[in-house]
Amino acid sequence: MISNLDYVTLQQIWWVLCSVIGALFLFLNLVQGGQTLLWQVAKTKTESALVVNSLGRKWELPFTTLVLFGGALFAAFPKFYSTSFGGAYWVWMLILFSFIIQAVSYEYRTKPGNVWGAKSYELCMFINGSVGILLIGMAVGTFYTGSAFSLNDMNQVTWQYTLGGVNLRGLEAAFSLFNLSLGLFLVFNARVLGALYLLNNLDLTPVAAMEQRLRKAVLTSFICSLPFLLYVVVSILLRKGFGVDENGVVSMVSFKYFFNLLALPHLLLSLLAGIGLVTWGVILGAHKGSLKGIWPAGLGTVLVGLCVLCLPAFNGTAFYPSTFDLQSSLTIYNASSSEYTLKIMTYVALGIPFVLAYIAYLWKKMDSQKLSIEDTTDHEAY
């Protein structure tokens, strides 16, 4: 069956698969969101231990998923990988650094002889959950706003944006209100997911006051996310996009992403259903006294993520546009690996459902019992 797939279909399949991984990463940012809530919802050492150990059980998942996302992009779309990761060097280095200090923090926060103190490592967790996710949102935002690069005949990238003679290597993405808004939305959405996850995962009976703080955090973080979400959605609908004709020529097209939503109604449905599910999860967590809000909110985040990642790639659109040289813009068709490579990768990808099933099984076993205060005092505690 795979051998009968044409090259274009394989390219489209692999962008969807990479987008699924990216959307799952956004759901797993519940760990990063929970880290930013630590000082807000935990007022005692016992409460801090509960939060850190709950998140510590899952901290490897977003890190591993981010690496998998980068690996999948490298294999399926090497020209994008080399252009973005090579040109926007400082953005990706700062993102990776924020995840490195997260790993170190969980490892050494309560180690004997920790001369820096637990608060220092908790600060690193906060940086990972705030600055790290903000930078990721800014990087994704460039799928819509573009980056100032050019490619020569040898596919060598030259990053063109400088400030005062200094090449910012991708940090100029922070000068875009759209990019910043998308990043801030992801930060606050991660906080919503983090609070909902902690409500679901912790035995809060002995710390009833923390439960109320978590429910309040769900609502306040959601309210804070709404202006940024509204700006991003309206901006996507109204902004010019980078259209690609049948000859591969890139040009600016008014209301391009709005027309993409009309041409691809499943993405519009994904966006609307995702926003609705996140809202329902917030209602469950903030007003209904439920512990299950993480599941609709998590699924909603995945659906919104899929729309955001797929919308700038299909229906004749350049997913990584160049604002310096439109014809250097990347599409899923001029940035992908060879047909042979994609076919081999697709055969390997047939094992993905089994891996996901195994992860789901481990997650269920790990969370079969709520984390209690007693679980934070054993030798494996973070």
Query: What's the DSSP call for residue 317?
Result: B
The H or E element containing residue 225 is helix 208-238
Q: Which two tokens stand for residue 260?
A: 């993409």
Determine contact, residues 198/212, Cβ cutoff 8 Å: no
Determine contact, residues 302/27, Cβ cutoff 8 Å: yes
Give the predicted TM-score (pTM) of the model: 0.94
Q: Which two tokens stand for residue 180?
A: 């910043």
Helices (DSSP H) in 29-59: which residue ranges? Answer: 30-41, 45-56
pLDDT at 10: 94
CB environment 8-18: b (16+ within 10 A), e (fewer)? eebbbbbbebb
- Provide the residue-wise pLDDT of the chain in tens; the chain has 382 residues: 676 788 999 999 999 999 999 999 999 999 999 999 999 999 999 999 999 999 998 998 999 999 999 999 999 999 998 898 877 888 999 999 999 999 999 988 888 777 788 899 999 999 999 999 999 999 999 999 999 888 887 777 887 777 777 778 788 888 999 999 999 999 999 999 999 999 999 988 888 899 999 999 999 999 999 999 999 999 999 999 999 999 889 999 999 999 999 999 999 999 999 999 999 999 999 988 899 999 999 999 999 999 999 999 999 999 999 999 999 999 999 999 999 999 999 998 888 888 788 888 878 887 878 888 877 776 567 7
- Return d(Cα 34, Cα 214) in angstroms, integer: 10
